[in-house]
Amino acid sequence: MSKNNGLRQGMQIAFRLGTELTVATLIGALMGHGLDRFFGTRPWGLAVGVIVGGAAGCLNVYRAAMLLSMEDDDDNNS
Amino acid sequence: MESPLHHFEVHTIIPIHIGGLDLSINNAVVAMWVGLAIIAGAFMLVVNRGISPIPGKLQSVLELVLEFISDLVFEFIGKEEGKKYVPFITTLFLFILACNLIGLVPGSYTITSQVAVTGAFAVGIFIMTLVIGFSKHGMHFLGILVPPGVPKIMIPLMVPIEIVSMLARPISLAVRLFANMTAGHTVLAVLFGLALTSPGWVSWMPFGFTVVINGLEIAIAFIQAYIFTTLTCVYIGDVIKLH
């Protein structure tokens, strides 16, 4: 359905990767903030949380990109 | 002039309150029923008419959709394991697609623009992957938190990162669908507001844009339903294959 159209394919990739990075960073920050509240270690939990979240976001984007490049290879081979 | 966010408001049509729970029928519920009715009606029409070896128009379209989705499931989950999940994934795709497309009819309601709806889908899928993972691999499932080929020193660092990336999946799934639908419909409403309020000699411009963007929104409705189902397949596949 979306394979035969370059624009659609590109938009799909953009939507997928963009939210992946943002949401993971936000989750990391929120978890860090939550741990801060629980243990009273302001502001260290938030700082570490943002970094861990960013790392998780990069990991998710990397995985999604690997998946997309795999699909591309399949298309080229067939 | 109405607010561009006016059409996202939920209005109660038939109030139902049972023991403190608000189970009222509102416009979102009605739109959801219409979506279900269209899909179920199309399939029932084909089956009632009798499935013929030479498919008619509607039957070929539905067969195409089913084949498309089962290919998707087989690709990401695997041919043997995937068979169980084809009905679920097909229902998910068709329902989201129907909801997205119904939202484009003027005066109707876009159910997927409610984060409660997309969030319920995403959380349900997340819990489902956890249940599948634990029932299939038992406690070995926790090994998904340690990617293969990681040196032992890195494990304390990798586990929190993996936990965050696991938790981010359902939320990004929900936010992506909700944000795309809300943004698209808000843009349409703003442009249409401009077309209505501007003087006649410029109002053709925003009106032309609404027509173009409406076409784009139809494409986005398909793309978002496709992305949602693909990612659901990917997540289920990850849990089954465990790396």
Q: Read off the pLDDT of residues A27-76 as tens digits, 9 standing for 90 and up.
A: 999 999 999 999 988 889 999 999 999 999 999 899 888 887 877 776 66
* Number of domains chain B is built from: 1
Contact B223 A53 (CB under 8 A): no
Contact B171 A15 (CB under 8 A): no
Confidence of residue B56 (pLDDT cuts 50, 70, 90): confident
Structural domain boundaries, residue B152: 6-241
Confidence of residue B53 (pLDDT cuts 50, 70, 90): confident
Contact B168 A67 (CB under 8 A): no
CA distance linking residue B30 with residue A75, whole number of Å: 41
Identify the H or E element spanning B12: strand B12-14
Q: Read off the pLDDT of residues B202-233 as tens digits, 9 standing for 90 and up.
A: 889 999 999 999 998 998 899 899 989 989 99
CA distance linking residue B48 with residue B65, whole number of Å: 19
> Above 70 in pLDDT, residue B80?
yes
A15 versus B63: which is more confidently predicted? Answer: B63
The shortest C-alpha distance from A26 to chain B (Å) reads 9
The reply to whether B1 falls in a domain is: no
| Three-state DSSP state, A1 | coil
Residues of chain A neighbouring B168 (CB-CB closer than 8 A):
20, 23-24, 27, 53, 56-57, 60
Angle at which helices B57-77 and B86-102 pack, to 10 degrees? 120
Contact A12 B162 (CB under 8 A): no
pTM for the predicted model, two decimal places: 0.87
> Above 50 in pLDDT, residue A3?
no
The reply to whether B149 falls in a domain is: yes
Mean pLDDT of chain B: 89
Q: Read off the pLDDT of residues B90-146 as tens digits, 9 standing for 90 and up.
A: 999 999 999 999 999 888 899 999 999 999 999 999 999 999 999 999 888 888 888
The reply to whether B23 falls in a domain is: yes
Tokens of A17: 């990767």
